[in-house]
Every structure is written in structure tokens, then in C-alpha cells.
Chain A
Amino acid sequence: MFSSLPGFAATHLVVQGQGKLATKQIRRGGDGCLEKIDYSEGAKWWRMSPFAAADHGAMAAELEKLAAMPRSLLVMGDCVPGLDLALEHRRRWAASEPLENTLLAVPRAWLAIDADDAPVPAPLGDAERLVEGAIHVRDHQLPPEFSNATMLVSPTSSSGLRGATLFRGRLWFLLDRLIPLADLRAWAMGVRTVGGAVDPAAMQAGQPIFTARPQFVGMDDPIPPHLLATVVSGVRDRVDLNADRFAVKVAEIERRLQSVVACTGLDWRSFLRRTLGGELSFHEPLKMGLGRAARSGERDEAIITFTVALLAKRADPARRAQYNAAWIGRTLKSFRAKDGHTRSRLEAARASLFAEV
């Protein structure tokens, strides 16, 4: 009945330029801490080609090959019609001028769920327990339509590096119909809003899905070769995704958070005290509260200390491990960087709009 549906259709990108990589580097510093370096600065030009794998088995074979191709990655979108695939292109899908886009959001009958720091019972966060960890996430943390569905499990760059109780990995599913990428992303945002550890970022036309293993410097890859791509057979090969499942709940959470914003204004401590945990879950209150905290002018240490203390009272151990001090610090840094970028945009736009006297 699904024979006419496409399998894992995507676009394969290969970065151009000497020394450029499409994967991360992970090195262990002298103090034992891990340092992660994002893919090559200035990796702007790519060769693009259509990618397809008919089913989970074929996709597993492709992922095993891609794991050893550090210049390659996948994106969910399609090349724009007429794009000359013999040439190098920028990876663009949301340019304000649509003609500059090289990638297009199209409906897909698959999704790759990046489970970011999903709490799992120890030791399912360990590298060699990747598949068992993924099965736990599928059957306990994803909506019921995923339960016992066939999936493909592959590692991400942080798999096995977050401790025994946090799972990091990618779960690939086929869907029983084509669904627009925007709807898939909205669904993923809904899962995250209600507390699920799903990263919606990949569900965009040009967002990298890193398929190569990171380059490990001064340490071994914690993932054994036989776990690069594992098919976990289930009772059905395609998932009947309820894409609207979280729409009402998300709207209700947003409405309630906004009503607290109206009461608390810029007082981020009060906002977090009134929203963190319970029915509003953790992710959205933390995101909104830390966004306000980042603009408050207060030092990171003070914000982290307050937030960690509040989480200690309200969250279970797994959730506390997920939203730990490092996560809070990274989130504050990311908000400040985003604000700085927005201010630069604003100044540049104003400069072009108005004549200097």
C-alpha cells in the first residue's frame, strides 16, 4: 500500500574548498574536558545532488558510507528547479530574495529525529548502548504512533559523550504520507515544547544533517563501527504521524507563558519562579526566562546559580542533567550572540535607509 511513497529522499551536499570539512572536530583537552569545533569556518560552497534510499535497509547502507565521508552531509530540502548541479552553490533556503535560494522545502515521507540529551535510565546513554537508548526514546518519549515502529538508528557527534543517563542519537523513520517540512518542524517544536528532547532544526530545507563521524583528536571515536547505522525492525514500517497532536497544547502553553510575561515584565526571576516545571514543562519557560535574563545585564554566574537552584527543587535528576549549568551558559551565550547579530542588522538597515547629516 505504501509502494508508491518515496523513501528517504533528500539532497546530498559536498563541501568545496581545500581542507573544508562538513563534520565537527572533537578533541580532549589537557584538563580532560572535551572541546567541540564546528565544521570548517567559511564552508560556503557546495556541490549538490539528489539523494534517495528506498527503505530503512538501503538507508542504513548509505549512512554507513556517509559516516566515512567528512565532506558530505544531507539536507531535507530539494534543489530548486533548474539549479545547475554541475556548479558549486551556496546553501540557501530562506533568503529574503527567493531567487537566491538554492534549496527548496518540499513534502517528505520521512523524518530524522535528533534526540538531544533525552533522559534515559543508566546505562542507556553509553555509546555501546546506542540502539537500546534509541528504543527507549522511541517507546517512552515519542508519541504513541512511533511505538514499536521500524526505525534506523545512527549516532550524532555527541553520542556516548553525555554520560550514562543522557541519550544523544538520531532516529530515522519513514512516514505513511508526504508531509510539508514546515508541518514536520512545527510538530517537532510541539514535542519540544511539551518536554520532549527533539531538535526541530533538521526539519528545514537546508539545515545540515551531519552524517559523517566527527574527527576525534587525541581520543577514539566512542561509537563502535557496527553501530554506525542499525535498523530496528518494528510492527510497521511507516509511521502515521499525527502532525497536529501538539498544536492546541502548544498554543495553551504559549498563552499561559505570555500571561505571566504580562505580569512579570523584565523580572526574569519572578518569571521562572512562576512558570518552571509542572504543566508548562521546562523548555519553553527556560527559553523565555533565560532570554530575559540574558538582556538583564546580570552576570552569567548569578543567572546560572539561581536557575540551577530552582531546577534542583522542581526537576527530576535526568532533567537536571539535561538543563545543567553548561546548558544554561550556552543558552545565555546564544541569546546574546543572536541579540548582537540583530543589533548589527538593525544598524546596517538604518544606515542604508537614512542619510547621515
Chain B
Amino acid sequence: MINEDDDDFLNAARRERGALPSGEYVAEIVPGSVVPFTTPQTRGCTVRVKICAGDHCGRVIRLRFLEDGAPSLDGMIARDIEALASWQKAVGAGPSPRQDGIGGVLKAIWVVSKSRDVFLRLTTKTGKDGVIETLLLSARCDDV
């Protein structure tokens, strides 16, 4: 059973088999999974989330959030930051210090999400190179 979508990330066949259907999932951040990254064009963080209920319970999905990059990527960065802002608002986490970046935001979300059902609306996007990536669209939490 595939339970790690971030392993062997360039293996298209495996991803085709393992792509998570678009939908809303109860999910939680895997502790310690926030990893900053930098490329020549971008800066951001990845985080793993674990599906906690439903048909895909137990699966761990990697989400990637862009924080900064070339002006041509502004649309993608805005999409990622808006999704993260939706998650932050849904769980009632306060704004984080800017110097901590979105890694700090994700940690704050994790702290206030413990023992609560947080619903993440996820979708799957296939890039031009065939890479399948799971994207966060928005979040909600009924007990806020």
C-alpha cells in the first residue's frame, strides 16, 4: 500500500496509482515534518499531513507551499499563501512573526489543531512533466 506520496517523487507511474482523489479530508500535520526548501527560483516549505478518517485514512500526503519567488510565480505564491491563510483562520491560529516564514505559520497551525477535526479541501494537479502534486485549496474546522 502506498502511504507516502513524497517518496520517489519523480516516479510518475507510482503517483498515478497513488494520487489522492480531490475532496475534503480530516487531516493533521505530521509532527516535525515542516521542511524549508530553496531553489534558484523559489523559497518555501513542505509539510506532511496525515489523513485521519475515511477511505484514505492513514495516508500521508506532502503539501508544498511557495513563500517567495520570481515575479512570474506571483500567481502560484498567492494561491499557496491564500490556502495557508484559510487553514490558519479555520483553526483560529494567530498571525506568526514574519521572520519565521510559513514554517512558523505551519507550526502555529499544528499547535492549535491538536485533538480537533480539521477538514482540508485537497485537489490534485498534474504538471506538464507528468508530476502529480496535491494542493491545499482551503480548510475548515467546525469547532471554531
Q: Which A positions have Cβ atoms within 8 angstroms of B?
A: 96-98, 254-255, 258, 295, 339, 342-343, 345-346, 349-350, 352-357
Contacts and interface: CB of A to CB of B under 8 A. Distances in A.
A354 B88 CA distance: 10
Q: How large is the interface on B (under 10, 10 to 19, 20 to 34, 35 or more residues)?
A: 20 to 34
Nearest to B77: A346
Interface string B60-93: 0000000000011011011001101110110000
B138 A258 contact: no
A343 B95 CA distance: 20
Contact of A353 (B85, B128, B138): B85
- Determine chain A's interface SS by DSSP, over half rule: helix
A17 B93 CA distance: 40
Nearest to B99: A357
Task: Report which residue of B74, B94, B102 has the largest number of chain A beta carbons within 10 angstroms of its beta carbon.
Answer: B74
Given A98-B121, A295-B72, A354-B95, 16 more contacts: A96-B82, A254-B128, A343-B74, A345-B78, A345-B82, A352-B85, A352-B89, A352-B95, A353-B84, A353-B102, A354-B96, A354-B98, A354-B105, A355-B95, A355-B96, A357-B98
B137 interface: yes
A92 to B, nearest CB: 15
A108 B6 CA distance: 38
Contacts of A98: 121
B81 A349 contact: yes
What are the 5 A-B residue pairs with the smallest beta carbon separation, nearest first? A355-B95, A349-B81, A354-B98, A346-B78, A345-B78
B22 to A, nearest CB: 11
Contacts of A255: 128
A342 B69 CA distance: 14
A258 B75 CA distance: 18
Nearest to A251: B128
B15 to A, nearest CB: 18
Contacts of A97: 138
A96 B78 contact: no
29 contacts: A96-B138, A98-B121, A254-B128, A255-B128, A258-B128, A295-B71, A295-B72, A339-B74, A342-B78, A343-B74, A345-B78, A346-B78, A349-B82, A349-B85, A350-B81, A352-B85, A352-B88, A352-B89, A352-B95, A353-B85, A353-B88, A353-B96, A354-B95, A354-B96, A354-B98, A355-B95, A355-B98, A357-B97, A357-B98
Nearest to B137: A96
A289 to B, nearest CB: 13
Interface in B94-144: 94-99, 102, 105, 121, 128, 137-138
Contacts of B84: 349, 353
A353 B88 CA distance: 8
B78 A349 contact: yes
Contacts of A254: 128
Nearest to A266: B72
A346 B97 contact: no
B89 to A, nearest CB: 7
Contacts of B78: 342, 345-346, 349
Contacts of B77: 346
Contacts of A339: 71, 74
B76 to A, nearest CB: 10
B23 to A, nearest CB: 11
Contacts of A356: 98
A355 B81 contact: no
Nearest to B24: A98
Contacts of A343: 74
Nearest to A99: B140
A346 B98 contact: no
A348 to B, nearest CB: 9
B70 to A, nearest CB: 9
Contacts of A354: 95-98, 105
B74 A346 contact: yes
A299 to B, nearest CB: 18
A266 to B, nearest CB: 9
A33 to B, nearest CB: 34
A357 B98 CA distance: 8
Nearest to A354: B98
Contacts of A349: 78, 81-82, 84-85
Nearest to A346: B78
A355 B94 contact: yes
A342 B102 contact: no
Nearest to B140: A97
Nearest to A254: B128
B133 to A, nearest CB: 17
